[in-house]
Chain A
């Protein structure tokens, strides 16, 4: 019949050709994910520079395969040349506000691969709980997890996540957010957090990490030594957001320290004091770092290859922030318009889709510093019962 598609000889194989060897390595920010796909009569060829490109091409190939009413699988003659516009395309999961069982994380990684995401930003600990089982400081999860047996990520769990991700060309960037967002660290690390004061007496409540005692930096060094070994990616996310100064202000020893250092009443300087030392520690461990935008906003001295993570979205203020960050020569990641935890009625995917990451005032050299962005699924109202339909 006239209108029937012309069925050519059935295709029996997709040849995958990778020019650069390296199956056993980890993906990085510089990995090339480009690929070419050619489907024609008698031959189907997927060629890529690296295995990571091959993974992307396989996903695309699988999306081209169709099935007709008779159940026959078919594919149209196709030519595709593809590569990502941005090298850092991430998703943030928060396993502190609510614990997410391993299967939820692995399932998320699967769906990330369907969508060509390549970074899993694991916001693993925070105020409410500390599920990360540390070999150096086992008390952290023993005292800080929601449940030390069932609501933790063992070393084996973490390895499973990293490998499951790697096999999908996804980098795992762990975030150990300090000095704020650390309440759950307190029970397992006595003396780490700042004791808040009510007048002259400790109130019994704790605040951010105590930046004035040496034990803090010894602790941080040992913890990040472990974290640097456990997580193979070059980058660690160090947090640095939303540090509440009231507890520091209430503590007499800290006030004395502020005086001694000549910081006056500017607690941002104290925050910077801590962060700078943290960055040095992490650098000396051979890692690069990503920080939330406050670290940049508060004038902390940063390494030139620091990546600034822009998240504040009050009236499109992020456009100005992207301009400032890149003008100062730092690389930037955009998350502000992509806080997917902030649900709303209707087809809100359209708002996320319409965002143009480079739509800020700046010269091309600045625009080139935008590495990409991350969709964030903060966990205050999310657990395994609703993660998947909320995110996808």
Chain B
């Protein structure tokens, strides 16, 4: 059970203090329902609080942590998060101001002692910690900008009396450091807030640490998405891969092509208006999270055809159109006219430098049945190799998107089918079968890669499956040092076939936390017992 009051995700269970039980009992682990052969050794249900060590609840584990036995007290009514002297950011930095308020709430929110009392701390003898000073070191802190792939998320945290100092080159590192600081602050049995003297030096192992949400298979209300962004921030994730449309529905309300969602969304209220989209982007930005939208083509586009006539390929049977449609039609000029205009809008609506263009699972059968397409194949000299047609299409889209100065992310098929990619195109490896080999191929060809294959979190299973996500080592593939550098990170994917607002949060978390640590922490942080200890505390805190 969760001993301390959680943070943001709204759960009532409060506790006054742990009941320390003389714990000489061992749970025999014969859980009813588990076959004997499966019984896993579980830690005892009663933990001795006195043994708890301050690093016991840091998640993800920072690169370098030193904690000391000496503790400092914090008084909610007096403690402040402030801009330190010499910081290039000040009260005008909205992003940090917002973070200060947010982290104050997380640390002291449920405490009644926020506004009462100016009495000096009598209960304990420890010295008081009065403030955490945040110092941004770079000339341009980046307060009003958006995070990039190359942003610095490093920070240095010193907790000592009378003030703690959080130094970071950019505001993004300060956000990460604030999260860590808030994880160090703990309550004792009497409700006093304490923090151990410590020094932390931290930075992420991988620069691209994402979560994919699918809002086409099931619409996700804004609240779901925002709650998820909060959870991502608790775990230092920095990319929201928004798989916003697909076959089943088109909830994105386009300014140039309003019919797309008018006809393609599940219903008129299950859409994301431009305001909704801006809200998501800003909410994410304030947490140092990039929003990379995915408009997956030419496959996965059934819903596009509802609001855009003559976009999808009409399928044929026996010389006649059947009435059903396949992927986007690659042979008509109007297709590219549409895509040019559409991606112009997307490029301006979404500020991130990257757009995900999809390109996965294109079913060639409809193309093969269409006489115009067949004729085009002949004219182009593609023979019967429809992968060439797919690549022809994809290359055109890549060009269009490039012209808007956006980088592109694609699913691995685009690379596998030998389309000509731009040098900075990022390839997302998702097929589970022999993904290490795929990583070698992609990086061997000089392309940047993002790993998702072992992290399809929609594939639920019984028991502590977080462990199998945690034990993945992304760089375990044959390749040179140079190649390994091209693997810039990974994404935990929660496809939406069986997910909606009623079950998203408990399904994604804390399982995704395992991926979060794998992508942030050092490669030698692999001990499952230690991870279990920290993860259970972290999970309770997230609630």
| A residues at B contact (CB < 8 Å) | 97-99, 101, 126-129, 143, 145-151, 180-181, 183-184, 186-187, 204-207, 241-242, 244, 311, 314, 339, 341-347, 376, 378, 380-381, 383-386, 388-390
User: Distance in Å from the Cβ of A244 to the closest Cβ of chain B?
Assistant: 6
Q: Quick one: given A206-B25, A339-B33, are A147 and B12 in contact (CB under 8 Å)?
A: no
Q: Is B13 a contact of A242 with CB atoms below 8 Å?
A: no
Q: Quick one: given A244-B30, A345-B458, are A101 and B12 in contact (CB under 8 Å)?
A: yes
Residues of A within 8 A of B34 (CB): 380
Among A99, A181, A183, A205, contact of B32 (Cβ-Cβ < 8 Å): A181
Q: Quick one: given A147-B15, A339-B33, A378-B33, are A187 and B22 in contact (CB under 8 Å)?
A: yes
Q: Is A205 a contact of B460 with CB atoms below 8 Å?
A: no
Q: Is A341 a contact of B21 with CB atoms below 8 Å?
A: no
Residues of A within 8 A of B110 (CB): none
Query: Closest 9 interchain pairs by CB?
Result: A389-B503, A386-B506, A146-B1, A378-B33, A128-B45, A342-B462, A204-B24, A242-B30, A345-B459
Q: Is A343 a contact of B26 with CB atoms below 8 Å?
A: no
CA A390 to CA B498, docked complex, whole Å: 12
Residues of A within 8 A of B460 (CB): 343-345
Among B19, B27, B464, contact of A148 (Cβ-Cβ < 8 Å): B19
Residues of B within 8 A of A128 (CB): 27, 45
Residues of B within 8 A of A148 (CB): 19
CA A180 to CA B29, docked complex, whole Å: 12
Among A147, A184, A187, A343, contact of B462 (Cβ-Cβ < 8 Å): A343
Residues of A within 8 A of B24 (CB): 204-205
Among B9, B27, B505, B543, contact of A127 (Cβ-Cβ < 8 Å): B27
CA A241 to CA B22, docked complex, whole Å: 27
User: Distance in Å from the Cβ of A93 to the closest Cβ of chain B?
Assistant: 13
A204 to chain B: closest residue by CB: B24
Q: Is A205 a contact of B33 with CB atoms below 8 Å?
A: no
CA A381 to CA B31, docked complex, whole Å: 11
Q: Is B27 a contact of A180 with CB atoms below 8 Å?
A: no
Most buried by A among B12, B18, B33, B459: B33
CA A53 to CA B348, docked complex, whole Å: 62
CA A127 to CA B42, docked complex, whole Å: 12
B539 to chain A: closest residue by CB: A385
Q: Is B13 a contact of A150 with CB atoms below 8 Å?
A: yes
Q: Is A101 a contact of B13 with CB atoms below 8 Å?
A: yes
Is B35's CB within 8 Å of the partner chain A?
Answer: yes
Q: Quick one: given A150-B15, A343-B461, A389-B506, are A376 and B33 in contact (CB under 8 Å)?
A: yes
Q: Quick one: given A147-B15, A187-B21, are A242 and B32 in contact (CB under 8 Å)?
A: yes
CA A343 to CA B462, docked complex, whole Å: 5
Q: Is A381 a contact of B1 with CB atoms below 8 Å?
A: no
Among A98, A143, A380, A390, contact of B31 (Cβ-Cβ < 8 Å): A380
Residues of B within 8 A of A98 (CB): 1
User: Distance in Å from the Cβ of B460 to the closest Cβ of chain A?
Assistant: 5
User: Distance in Å from the Cβ of A184 to the closest Cβ of chain B?
Assistant: 8
* Size category, B interface: 35 or more
Q: Quick one: given A127-B28, A389-B502, are A342 and B15 in contact (CB under 8 Å)?
A: no
Residues of B within 8 A of A389 (CB): 502-503, 506-507
CA A298 to CA B205, docked complex, whole Å: 56
Residues of B within 8 A of A380 (CB): 31, 33-34
Is B323's CB within 8 Å of the partner chain A?
Answer: no
CA A101 to CA B34, docked complex, whole Å: 25
User: Distance in Å from the Cβ of A114 to the closest Cβ of chain B?
Assistant: 15
Most buried by B among A148, A151, A242, A339: A242
Residues of B within 8 A of A244 (CB): 28, 30
Residues of B within 8 A of A341 (CB): 33, 462
Q: Is A187 a contact of B25 with CB atoms below 8 Å?
A: yes
CA A150 to CA B18, docked complex, whole Å: 11
Among A180, A183, A241, A311, contact of B25 (Cβ-Cβ < 8 Å): A183
User: Distance in Å from the Cβ of A183 to the closest Cβ of chain B?
Assistant: 5
Q: Is B32 a contact of A241 with CB atoms below 8 Å?
A: yes
Is B49's CB within 8 Å of the partner chain A?
Answer: no
A99 to chain B: closest residue by CB: B1
CA A229 to CA B436, docked complex, whole Å: 63
Is B16's CB within 8 Å of the partner chain A?
Answer: yes
User: Distance in Å from the Cβ of A195 to the closest Cβ of chain B?
Assistant: 11
A183 to chain B: closest residue by CB: B25
Q: Is A150 a contact of B25 with CB atoms below 8 Å?
A: no
B12 to chain A: closest residue by CB: A101
CA A129 to CA B46, docked complex, whole Å: 10
Is B463's CB within 8 Å of the partner chain A?
Answer: yes
B505 to chain A: closest residue by CB: A385
Residues of B within 8 A of A101 (CB): 12-13
Q: Is A147 a contact of B19 with CB atoms below 8 Å?
A: yes
Residues of A within 8 A of B507 (CB): 386, 389
Residues of B within 8 A of A147 (CB): 1, 3, 15-16, 18-19
User: Distance in Å from the Cβ of B238 to the closest Cβ of chain A?
Assistant: 25
30 A-B contact pairs sorted by A residue (CB < 8 Å)? A128-B27, A129-B1, A147-B1, A147-B16, A147-B19, A150-B16, A180-B30, A181-B32, A183-B25, A183-B28, A204-B24, A205-B25, A205-B26, A207-B28, A244-B30, A343-B461, A343-B462, A344-B460, A344-B461, A344-B462, A345-B458, A378-B32, A380-B31, A380-B33, A384-B11, A385-B9, A385-B543, A388-B502, A389-B502, A389-B506
CA A285 to CA B463, docked complex, whole Å: 40
Is B14's CB within 8 Å of the partner chain A?
Answer: yes
Residues of A within 8 A of B543 (CB): 385
User: Distance in Å from the Cβ of A150 to the closest Cβ of chain B?
Assistant: 6
Residues of B within 8 A of A184 (CB): 45
CA A150 to CA B15, docked complex, whole Å: 7
Q: Is B28 a contact of A143 with CB atoms below 8 Å?
A: no
Q: Quick one: given A344-B460, A344-B461, A345-B461, are A151 and B1 in contact (CB under 8 Å)?
A: yes
User: Distance in Å from the Cβ of B503 to the closest Cβ of chain A?
Assistant: 4
A149 to chain B: closest residue by CB: B16
User: Distance in Å from the Cβ of B504 to the closest Cβ of chain A?
Assistant: 9
Residues of A within 8 A of B15 (CB): 147, 150
A187 to chain B: closest residue by CB: B21
B498 to chain A: closest residue by CB: A346
CA A99 to CA B11, docked complex, whole Å: 13
Residues of B within 8 A of A388 (CB): 502
Residues of A within 8 A of B32 (CB): 126, 181, 241-242, 311, 378
Q: Quick one: given A128-B45, A389-B502, are A150 and B33 in contact (CB under 8 Å)?
A: no
CA A223 to CA B93, docked complex, whole Å: 64
CA A296 to CA B461, docked complex, whole Å: 32
CA A184 to CA B23, docked complex, whole Å: 11
Q: Quick one: given A150-B15, A187-B21, are A345 and B498 in contact (CB under 8 Å)?
A: yes
B33 to chain A: closest residue by CB: A378
| Mask of B94-135 contacts with A, CB within 8 angstroms, 1/0 | 000000000000000000000000000000000000000000
- In chain B, positions 28-58 with a C-beta closer than 8 Å to chain A are 28, 30-35, 45
Q: Quick one: given A147-B19, A150-B13, are A314 and B506 in contact (CB under 8 Å)?
A: no
Residues of A within 8 A of B464 (CB): 381
CA A314 to CA B33, docked complex, whole Å: 11
